[in-house]
């Protein structure tokens, strides 16, 4: 991305007159990315200020609230966290709660907003049902009852993605491969936006439930409810950022950026080859 911006800047200094197809591609990519104001808020989750990768277990900076054995288990297969929360009992209820959501380094603030992104794959070894077959993410940035601190809930099942505890947002399969989900809440707002693989699937108010004075500000993922349980979930990563609302990039924009990078790299390689050829001819 930096290469694209730099190339576009150089071309701009030449009054956008260049014979380089790479720079032309780069300018076009930047134009597309900056034509929509929402794209200006995009931050790659690789730069989020809280990172967890599934090849590490136990999960650092989280408290594991294990459910009842044998219907609950968690481990790493070396690549992903393998999380199982069996479908048969009301006592599985295993989940991972962040120790840094409202404390520790870079905690969330309702006045700033926040963004969560995770990459998961759902197995097919449990009922595909919103109440007994979901991997759930819960986030609340203000304690107690507050119109601007309502909880955000996203449930990912084998063939559905729900928000607000039961509202269907997407019915695509989550078992065919890993899929990336992003949840973002703006500053001082009870609105959330949810994306699946860069495509927006929900935008609206977050849930008004769990706003009683006894519910603290917290963020957790897993099951966390005696009525859920669910299939095996493979967690590649789970990341969150305390610096505000950040959009997910559209797939077409990512493709365009990739084409720009390829064009720039190809142009640079051709220049090096031409320069090397000229040096050999001069030496001869």
- Classify residue 209: in a domain, yes or no: yes
| pLDDT category of residue 257 using cuts at 50, 70 and 90 | low
49 with 130, same domain? yes
Only one residue has tokens 């269907």, namely: 168
218 with 161, same domain? yes
150 with 223, same domain? yes
15 with 85, same domain? no
Q: What is the residue-averaged pLDDT of the chain?
A: 77
53 with 145, same domain? yes
86 with 100, same domain? yes
Only one residue has tokens 């109440």, namely: 131
C-alpha torsion sign, points 88, 215, 112, 61: negative
What pLDDT does 206 receive? 82
Residue 100, domain extent: 44-241
Name the residue among 188, 192, 127, 123 with its Cα closest to residue 163. 192
Which CATH number belongs to the domain containing residue 160 in this structure? 2.60.120.560
List all residues 6 or more positions away from 160 whose beta carbon is below 8 Å from its beta carbon. 128, 130, 134, 168, 170, 171
Tell me the average pLDDT across 82-94: 69
**C-alpha–C-alpha distance, residues 170 and 237, integer Å:** 21
202 with 79, same domain? yes
- Classify residue 283: in a domain, yes or no: no
23 with 110, same domain? no
Helix (H) or strand (E) holding 144: none
What pLDDT does 173 receive? 94
Tens of pLDDT, residues 3-39: 444 444 444 444 444 445 555 554 444 444 444 433 4
Q: Is the pLDDT of residue 137 over 70?
A: yes
Above pLDDT 70, what percent of the chain?
63
């Amino acid at each position: 991305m930096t290469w694209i911006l730099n190339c576009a800047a150089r071309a701009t200094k030449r009054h956008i007159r260049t014979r380089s197809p790479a720079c032309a591609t780069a300018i076009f990519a930047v134009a597309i990315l900056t034509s929509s104001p929402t794209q200006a808020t995009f931050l790659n989750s690789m730069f989020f200020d809280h990172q967890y990768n599934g090849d590490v277990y136990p999960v650092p900076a989280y408290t594991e609230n294990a459910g009842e054995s044998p219907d609950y288990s968690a481990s790493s297969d070396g690549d992903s966290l393998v999380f199982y929360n069996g479908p048969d009992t009301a006592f599985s209820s295993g989940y991972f709660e962040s120790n840094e959501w409202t404390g520790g380094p870079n905690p969330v603030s309702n006045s700033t907003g926040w963004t969560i992104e995770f990459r998961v794959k759902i197995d097919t070894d449990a009922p595909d049902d919103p109440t007994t077959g979901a991997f759930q993410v819960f986030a609340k940035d203000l304690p107690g009852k507050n119109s601007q601190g309502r909880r955000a809930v996203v449930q990912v099942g084998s063939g559905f993605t729900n928000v607000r505890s039961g509202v269907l947002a997407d019915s695509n399969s989550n078992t065919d491969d890993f899929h990336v989900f992003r949840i973002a809440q703006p500053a001082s707002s009870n609105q959330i936006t949810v994306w699946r693989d860069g495509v927006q699937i929900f935008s609206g108010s977050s849930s008004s439930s769990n706003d009683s004075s006894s519910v603290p500000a917290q963020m957790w993922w897993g099951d966390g409810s005696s009525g859920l349980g669910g299939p095996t979930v493979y967690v590649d990563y789970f990341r969150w950022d305390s610096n505000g609302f950040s959009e997910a990039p559209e797939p077409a924009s990512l493709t365009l950026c990739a084409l720009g990078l390829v064009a720039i790299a190809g142009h640079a390689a051709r220049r090096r080859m031409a320069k090397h050829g000229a040096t050999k001819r001069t030496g001869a």
